[in-house]
Structure 1
Amino acid sequence: MELRIRHVSKRYANGVQALKDITLTVPAGMYGLLGPNGAGKSTLMRTLATLQEPDSGSIQLGELDVLQQPDAVRQTLGYLPQEFGVYPKARAEDMLNYFAILKGITGRRARQQVVEGLLRQTNLWDVRRQQLGGFSGGMRQRFGVAVALLGQPRLLIVDEPTAGLDPAERVRFLNLLSELGENSVVLLSTHIVQDVAELCTRMAIINQGQILLEAEPLRAVADLQGRIWRRLIDKTALPRLEQEHRVISTRLLSGRTLVHVYSEQAPDPGFEAVEADLEDVYFSTMAGHYGPAVAQPEQAARI
């Protein structure tokens, strides 16, 4: 089974063109949608989750027409939005049981088995009788996944799932997502490059509502080898360097500025070759130096 998105566009009433002719084929497994805040990721996620309709285009989930059969799609959909509310005084077990009823799992015994299984799968069984208001950020995200997994969805959409999590919670959450990708189409929307690098076998980079690159992360990194160079400079030298070279990213290192540039050959003797990673792919694509899409060059991102 796969998710097929064809020529999807969306313009809001305020004139913002959120999506521009999006075409993607998302196979089973973990698929990363990578882009900065405001790139159009959440708009696409809400559209796929049948929460809004596009202005044009088509979306197919297996044999289902997402736009024409939204009720049927919702029966096989799991959705974890970027932000979701909980009843702070409700216990995790009770709340998940309530959502299971809404999902159509009406048999008491079957529902108990499903709720227990999901609480154990998301490592929340030991805290099942705690109030949701006392959950940490990571625990709340795992509870959100438990809700999204009700009904064994064939399509699971998670929007910015690791934002705000501490390192330990992030690792636990990513491990959970990697297990889920074995049986469903899991679409991971994020601006965190490392999440995609660790989880996804395919990805797309989106900016200003357009797909700039669609690729396998490992192959994209391999294609970029030999084109990324770095140099440690004083911050005052950065403006001149940006005029002379295609700077894709900068970061502070021991009080100085570490610059990565994109070049087909050594820029000058002051640079050294560096092994490319997915972060370099992302910034090179965003700057318009890499990828099949014609991207508008813009100021290199600084991290």
Structure 2
Amino acid sequence: MGKHPLGLSIRNVSKKYANGVQALHNVSLDVPPGMYGLLGPNGAGKSTLMRTLATLQEPDEGRVFLGNIDVINQKEAVRQTLGYLPQEFGVYPKASAEELLNYFAMLKGITHRAVRRATTEALLRQTNLWDKRKQKLGGYSGGMRQRFGVAVALLGNPQLLIVDEPTAGLDPAERVRFLNLLSELGESSVVILSTHIVEDVSELCTNMAIINQGRILLEAQPLAAVAALNGRIWRKLTDKQALPTLEQEHHVISAKLLSGRTMVHVHSYDQPGPGFEPVEPDLEDVYFSAMTGCFGPANQQLKAEELAR
């Protein structure tokens, strides 16, 4: 009998640090098996939540369950089935990938040598590092190091895999390889991808939440959230000087430089004024709409089915 994928239930989790920063404020989420994106700017509370789920710190209040396992009170049981790739993880630069993965497999309790050898080979092949297994980790590129981190995180077939800001600093080709690897993993367990990069979520995740200042602004399926903005996003090419006036008159969700001018996106239920044209929304529009309050606290726990209506 194979393991049944477990869902993750997060209820009313809050965390305040000693310096007075409220990192998490009453966070509740339901994370089903599959790829789940936690999207928010740096300092939004993502890493605090990831560290809490990874049993590295305790919340001030709230409860978390992985299936029937109480994450806060049964840390050892969680660690048996957890894979965690933190934002910054050290490697031993003089060790080869094969040596270090073998060592971590021993620590994980894979004591039988033949089983350990088969496990490390399978993981190095899965992460596309087999041909570089003898190379010292100090000579690995950023993307190779991240893939090695996933190999370590996958030891023991985790039911919960937490990946914190994995694509920051990767070049485009490495990023694609890394995301392809993650998408394969989401078929059999809960994979939480914490990131500030919208494309990571739009390309990978079937479910997502947007977090800022420790609060969940939106919980939805990306496609449904995008569909909910159909007919509500308008754009206009303008000059930088006109931006303050536009921001006073309209609900500007984003402004980007384009060929020396400024492309403004506005959230509006009808035509906002001269020069505006409708634009097909994407997940970036969803993100900025949530961040500027268009998916506001009143809609806070918008589920996909409500969004799709």
Which of residues 103, 122, 125 in structure 2 aligns to 1:117? 122
Match of 2:95 in 1: 90
Local SS of the residue matching 2:105: helix
How do 1:206-245 and structure 2 match up within 5 A? 206-245=211-250
The one-letter amino acid paired with 2:31 is V
Q: What residue number does 2:305 align with?
A: none
Give the Cα separation in 1 of the matches to 2:298 and 2:110.
Answer: 45
1:45 aligns with 2:42: no
Query: Is 1:186 the counterpart of 2:186 in the alignment?
Result: no
1:265-276 map, 5 Å? 265-276=270-281
TM-score where L is the length of structure 1: 0.96
Residue in 2 aligned with 1:16?
A: 21
Query: Where in structure 2 are the equivalents of 1:23-102 lying within 5 Å?
Result: 23-102=28-107
What is the number of residues matched between the two proteins?
295
**Structure 1 Cα separation of the partners of residues 17 and 226 of structure 2:** 35
Residue identity opposite 1:267 in structure 2: P
The answer to whether the 8 Å contact 2:217/2:295 transfers is no
Matched, 1:164 2:152: no
Matches within 5 A, 1:260-299: 260-291=265-296, 293=298
Residue 255 of structure 1 and its aligned partner are, at CA, apart by: 1.1
Whether contact under 8 Å (1:212, 1:293) holds in the other structure is no
Counterpart pick for 1:152 among 150, 153, 157: 157
Paired letter, 1:118? L
CA contact (8 A) 1:8 1:23 kept: yes
Whether the 8 Å contact between 2:94 and 2:138 is mirrored in structure 1 is yes
Q: Show the counterpart of 1:6.
A: 11
Distance 1:276 1:107 in 2: 53
Q: Provide the residue aligned with 1:199 in structure 2.
A: 204
Q: Match of 1:135?
A: 140
Q: CA deviation at 1:225?
A: 0.7
* C-alpha distance in 2 between matches for 1:216 and 1:165: 26
Q: Look up the match of 1:174.
A: 179
2-structure distance, mates of 1:292, 1:235: 31
Residue 307 of structure 2 is matched in structure 1 by none
**Could you tell me how far 1:134 is from its partner in structure 2?**
0.4
- Amino acid corresponding to residue 103 of structure 2 in structure 1: Y
Distance in 2 between residues matched to 1:292 and 1:44, nearest whole Å: 20
Distance 1:291 1:263 in 2: 14
Determine the C-alpha separation between the residues in 2 that align with 1:244 and 1:121: 53
Q: Could you say what secondary structure the match of 1:72 adopts?
A: helix
- Give the Cα–Cα distance (whole angstroms) in 1 for the partners of residues 298 and 147 of structure 2: 36
Q: Which ranges of structure 2 fall in alignment gaps of 5 or more residues?
A: 1-5, 301-309
* 2:218–2:299 CA contact under 8 A, matched in 1: no
Cα distance in 2, alignment partners of residues 163 and 215 from structure 1: 24
Give the Cα–Cα distance (whole angstroms) in 1 for the partners of residues 42 and 297 of structure 2.
22
Normalization by structure 2: what TM-score? 0.94
TM-fit CA distance, 1:293: 4.3
Q: How big is the shift at 1:240?
A: 1.2
The one-letter code sitting in structure 1 at the alignment partner of 2:199 is Q
State the alpha-carbon separation in 1 of the partners of residues 298 and 183 from structure 2: 29
User: How far does residue 294 in structure 1 lie from its aligned partner after superposition?
Assistant: 6.6
SS of residue matched to 2:119: helix
**Structure 2 counterpart SS, 1:126:** helix
CA distance, structure 2, for counterparts of residue 199 and residue 285 of structure 1 = 20
Aligned to 2:254: 249
- Shift, 1:269, TM fit: 2.2
> How large is the RMSD of aligned CA atoms in angstroms?
0.9
Q: 3-state DSSP class of the match of 2:203? A: helix
Output the CA distance in 2 between the equivalents of 1:242 and 1:62: 46
